[in-house]
Amino acid sequence: MLKIRSVVLGSFAALALVAVAAGSASAAGMTASGSIGQAYVLGAADGQALTLLNARGRTVAKGTADRFGSFIFQNVAAGSGYKVRGASTTRAFKVLSTKSNPPAAFFRGIKLKQGLNYVKVRDGVEIAMTVRLPAGKKLSDGPFPTLIEYSGYQTAAPHDLLGALGSNDPLAPATSTAIGSLIAPLLDFAVVSVQMRGSGCSGGAFDLFGLPTTFDGYDAVETVAAQSWVKGRKVGMGGISFSGITQLFTAGTQPPGLAAIAPMSVTDDTYSATGYPGGINNSGFALSWVKERMSDAVPAPEGGQPWAKALVAAGDQHCIANQKLRLQTRDAVKVIDANPFRTPGEFDQRSAAAWMSKIKVPTFLIGQFQDEQTGGHFAQSLGLLAKNPNVWLTLQNGVHADSLGPSTFTRWVEFLNLFVADRIPKISPTVLGLGDQLYRLLADAPASPVLQSRFASMTNVAAAKARFKKDPRVRLLMDNGAGPQGLGSIGATWELGYSAWPIREVKPTTYFLGNDGALSPSKPPASSSASYTADPSARPQQTLHGSGAGDDWKAQPRYDWAPLAANKGVGFTTAALSKDMILAGSSSLDLYLKSS
């Protein structure tokens, strides 16, 4: 969900057109194929009535083809023998299950080239993947340690990013994918930028964290890991926000070719964490973000992402064909409005938390408790990683972009080098020198310097990895923003280390609401009441006003923190604390309300 300035770059990369056998059935131009829990139709007549039939010839569902001649039947049970009847009837096809994956030979048959590729995944939908190499390198210079960045932003746009800063190139990737399109190649990793289905030049229909999207991640990992130019035939995943959240889903599918993940600034549940935090509809950033994703899913060239518009206009036949299911995009805004309560059938499969306990690979996760985009709810699910012996968590105060801050950057580089690249971590002088410019670009704020790896002088990878494994499994970075570079500068000034999450040393503390706004660890001897008169005009409706809403990453945002107005609200405060108190993790207020 990372949003940063739009910058673009580079020279056009050659198209590499990749195809594998697809299991579709056809009749008189109309085709029908199965996906995970879905059946999709292409090539029907506009407005054609369609009927999904099971193996016994019985009606399962009905629908109507859109103006592109397409339709997706949702929530279809896995099985063989399905057909679709329209003006004619298709041959039988299979609706896929989450319980089986394609054989290794399926992925070995796919060859990726440098630049833009189109790859058919298990259900025959074509996914755009762009291979990016370190500067001046070609595939024959491999094998390369390789990362995947997977998101629905403008991810697989085929131009580079570094040379596009300040320009307006529609074929450059979004800066929200800078980890894959900029930073990782500078760290001498190859990167495969994977475009989520239903966005950009990828086929299919956009359905935020639906099962086909989740298992596209599995297929992407296995496709990339099968390439001869990938070091060790294992890949890692990297990225912040959208590109971080997808890692939790993908790793939960347990692809054999996945070496490690390094998610940053994630959410753990589309309902509880972002859509309806505390049960209250998030009409702020979350809603605007979903609307942007719906805009990105509009078929090009009438809408959609800039790179899709440009390639469709240039006659890219793959990108053109991959727009055909776009009118079947599930309207996420309508889904939110129709589900004010957490509907399990709607949200369980789209909850990252549901996949986290299944993650077996080494994991390096960074998050902020005050994240203004994805929120702080993610910490409630970190305990689901407890059975994974190779998990390192870094938690801090700060905003969404601070996962990339200098207090975490070097450890992140070390993790990727040790667990993906299998080499001694060394940060080039170029990257060390770019640190201050990077943070000013991301957040318009000064920052602590990026430090060289503590392992840079070592020669034994196993010894370096063993030393890394002795690090605290939980780092709490404190006072981020209070460094010597100035008030609000990015970087923590001290930290605490612990062996596990939840932190074993923590003792949950209960406070009770009392008379006159008191908040006490002792239960009041008698019940009391507090009342107020609701008046929305008594305090500012926003803490950052107007254009100031875009200032939340700056060193000194223009916050307007107004106290409670007399009789227009209630608040409860403890007595002055006699000693320092460390707060980490989640709190809840159990409140019983009565109105008149």
DSSP structure string for 338-383: H-SS--HHHHSTT-THHHHTT--S-EEEEEETT-TTT-SGGGGGGG
Q: Residue 459's beta-bridge partner residues?
A: none
What pLDDT is attached to residue 5? 37
Cα(543)–Cα(318) distance, rounded to whole angstroms? Answer: 46
The band of 531, judged by pLDDT with boundaries at 50, 70 and 90, is confident
For the chain, the structural domain boundaries read 25-95, 109-498, 508-596
Contact 193, 224 (CB under 8 A): no
Read off the amino acid at residue 114.
Q
Contact 86, 50 (CB under 8 A): yes
Q: Which CATH class, in words, describes the domain spanning 25-95?
A: mainly beta
The band of 18, judged by pLDDT with boundaries at 50, 70 and 90, is very low
Is-same-fold flag (25-95; 109-498)?
no
What confidence tens digit (pLDDT) does each residue in 422-434 have? 999 999 998 998 8
Contact 395, 475 (CB under 8 A): yes
What confidence tens digit (pLDDT) does each residue in 132-173 have? 999 999 999 999 999 999 999 999 999 998 877 778 899 999
DSSP letter, residue 585: S
What pLDDT is attached to residue 7? 32
> Taking the CB of residue 215, how many other CB atoms lie within 10 A of it?
23
Phi-psi group of 578: left, alpha or beta (phi > 0 → left; psi -120 to 50 → alpha; rest → beta): alpha
Work out whether strand 190-195 and strand 126-132 pair parallel, antiparallel, or are unpaired.
Answer: antiparallel
DSSP letter, residue 150: E
Cα(314)–Cα(10) distance, rounded to whole angstroms? Answer: 17
State the burial class of residue 261 (Cβ atoms within 10 Å of its Cβ: 0-12, 13-18, 19+): buried
At which residue do the structure tokens 């099962």 appear? 211
What confidence tens digit (pLDDT) does each residue in 200-238 have? 999 999 999 999 999 999 999 999 999 999 999 999 999
**Cα dihedral 389, 391, 395, 400 sign:** negative
The band of 548, judged by pLDDT with boundaries at 50, 70 and 90, is low
State the burial class of residue 87 (Cβ atoms within 10 Å of its Cβ: 0-12, 13-18, 19+): middle
Cα(154)–Cα(293) distance, rounded to whole angstroms? Answer: 11
Q: What is the mean pLDDT of residues 529-534?
A: 89
Contact 551, 441 (CB under 8 A): no
State if pTM tops 0.75. yes
- Can you tell me whether residue 440 is helix, strand or coil? helix
Contact 373, 265 (CB under 8 A): yes
What pLDDT is attached to residue 547? 63
What pLDDT is attached to residue 26? 46
What pLDDT is attached to residue 1? 57
What pLDDT is attached to residue 15? 33
Cα(295)–Cα(298) distance, rounded to whole angstroms? Answer: 6
What confidence tens digit (pLDDT) does each residue in 338-372 have? 999 999 999 999 999 999 999 999 999 999 999 99
pLDDT at 596 over 80: no
What confidence tens digit (pLDDT) does each residue in 229-275 have? 999 999 999 999 999 999 999 999 999 999 999 999 999 999 999 99
Q: Which CATH class, in words, describes the domain spanning 109-498?
A: alpha beta
